[in-house]
Amino acid sequence: MKRSLLRAAAEPLKLYQYAICPFCNKTKAALDFLKVPYRSVEVDPLTRSQIKFSKDYKKVPIAVMSGGTVVGGSTEIVDAVLESEVSAPQAGVDAKHFLSDEARHWNKWCDEKFAVCVYPNITRSVSECWQALGYLQKCPEFSLPRAVATRALGAVGMAAAHGKIKKKYQMEDEREALFTAVDAWTAEVGGKEFRGGEKPDLSDLAVFGCIRGISDLPLYSEMTEHKAFGPWFGRVANALKAKIAE
């Protein structure tokens, strides 16, 4: 494997995240494909104390670049990485393809139509929310008592917010909204290997990342076993694995 592109940097990029956040996970998929080293920092979903340093952006993902610059937002982080951390040629990607107008259009579609459907589909009940927050008990940043308490309180809060999230994004039925988005995506991919054609582009990694990040939850199996979405997902996973191994 080639030497990491940023190994000489004082510190790798820090990515402040929630482990199940689709916007965080689409960011990580792009960083992995670009082979940019980063360290994930889990944010407490109740206090968000880890990101209080950020004055202008109060959500996740937030990245602190290797030079100390703070950038908020999934697409903004990817753009900043390609401007200051690694060039597209260094990362082994064709910028005109990876960041084409169509790739950006469908990346934005992912933000507005697909990623927003993931959360309501893993938070439909307190028990489902409890399961979704199981990652907290695996985080080294959280002691076991703190993880369990945060998981319990968070599950109740997430379940209570479920209806508000649906209303915000005008969803009558979260399952129907999700699979309407899946149908739109698979129709766009069509008979191609990837939406980007012969190689994944930013939009492929965006949609892929949203689902890869919930691999411990039942929705992951439902999505990866989908007759059209599943094969595409597998191709992106294989392409990403091959890219990392270059």
Which residues are paired to 17 by β-bridges? Answer: 42
CB 187 within 8 A of CB 193: no
180-226, pLDDT tens digit by residue? 999 999 999 999 999 999 999 999 999 999 999 999 999 999 999 99
Q: What is the DSSP letter of 71?
A: E
CB 83 within 8 A of CB 36: no
Note the pLDDT of residue 5.
39
Q: Between vectors from CA 75 to CA 53 and to CA 122, what angle results, nearest 5°?
A: 85
- For the cut 60, the answer to whether the pLDDT of residue 3 exceeds it is no
Q: How confident is the model at residue 30 (pLDDT cuts 50, 70, 90)?
A: very high
Q: Where are the domains of the chain?
A: 13-91, 95-245
Note the pLDDT of residue 231.
98
- For the cut 80, the answer to whether the pLDDT of residue 7 exceeds it is no
Distance from the Cα of residue 105 to its chain's centroid: 17
Q: What is the DSSP letter of 15?
A: E
221-238, pLDDT tens digit by residue? 999 999 999 999 999 999
**Amino acid found at 44:** D
Q: Between vectors from CA 160 to CA 158 and to CA 162, what angle results, nearest 5°?
A: 70
Q: How confident is the model at residue 85 (pLDDT cuts 50, 70, 90)?
A: confident
Note the pLDDT of residue 9.
42
Q: Does domain 13-91 have CATH number 3.40.30.10?
A: yes
Note the pLDDT of residue 87.
83
Buried b (16+ CB within 10 A) or exposed e, 203-227: bbbbbbbbbbbbeebebbebbbebe
Place of tokens 């934005």: 108
- For the cut 80, the answer to whether the pLDDT of residue 6 exceeds it is no
Distances (CA, A) of 246 to 1, 72, 91, 237: 6, 29, 10, 15
Its CATH architecture, for the domain 95-245, is Up-down Bundle (1.20)
Among 100-104, 137-141, 182-186, the minimum mean pLDDT is found in 137-141
User: CA 114 to CA 185: how far, in whole Å?
Assistant: 9
